[in-house]
Amino acid sequence: MNYIIDGYNLGYKIKSCIPLLKNGDTERAIPCILQSVAGRITAFDKKIIVVFDGRSGAFPRITSFSGIQVKFSKAPQKADDIIRNFLRKLKNPENWCSVSSDNEIIMTARAMGAQAEKSENFLSQQRKSSADRNRDSAEYKQKYQADNIDMNYWLKQFGAEDE
């Protein structure tokens, strides 16, 4: 699954980032938000885009963070506009999930065939990495998990007695 995330919307749901945002400290708030995103989803086989409202004259120099693409709106456009336009232009919307608690973004995502997840739900759910999902697959279990016959063979090879 690929993600497009409403940066400040998510940030106001992260306890450690809220005071920074309320004080207007975007230089510290943005990395705080991105770190939280990076800790919840891995970027090995998906695209992750976090969009922030730009502030005139105060655009941070961050364009990526731990495999996450970072975008800033430019006035008069807002992050919400960029996200909705992005969702409208998707060729494979079923592969995308929009993360925002903004109802217009949620409605646009669903209307375009993408998934939508509220910011607070995104933060509360534990994400599985690709490696974890692979380990749960039947193919992985069949290929890499030992059965009793293999286990008994190896126990004999290393001198352990049968139980």
pLDDT digits (tens, 9 = 90+) for 18-66: 999 999 998 899 999 999 998 887 656 689 999 999 865 455 667 878 7
Count of other CB atoms within 10 angstroms of residue 47: 14
80 CB-near residues (< 8 Å, 6+ apart) = 6, 100, 102, 104, 105
| CA distance to 13, 18, 35, 61, 67, per residue, from 123 (Å) | 8, 14, 12, 26, 19
Q: Could you tell me the CA-to-CA distances from 129 to 1, 17, 134 in Å, in that order?
A: 11, 24, 9
For residue 53, which of 9, 97, 98 has the smallest C-alpha distance? Answer: 9
Prediction pTM value = 0.74
Report pLDDT digits (tens) over 71-95: 999 888 899 999 999 999 999 999 9
**pLDDT cut 70: percent of the chain above it:** 74
Contacts of 83 by beta carbon, 8 Å cutoff, 6+ apart: 4, 6, 51, 98, 100, 105, 108
CA angle 8, 117, 35 (to 5 degrees): 45
Task: Report the pLDDT averaged over residues 134-142.
Answer: 57
CA distances from 10 to 23, 53, 119, 161 (A): 16, 12, 5, 56
Note the pLDDT of residue 129. 46
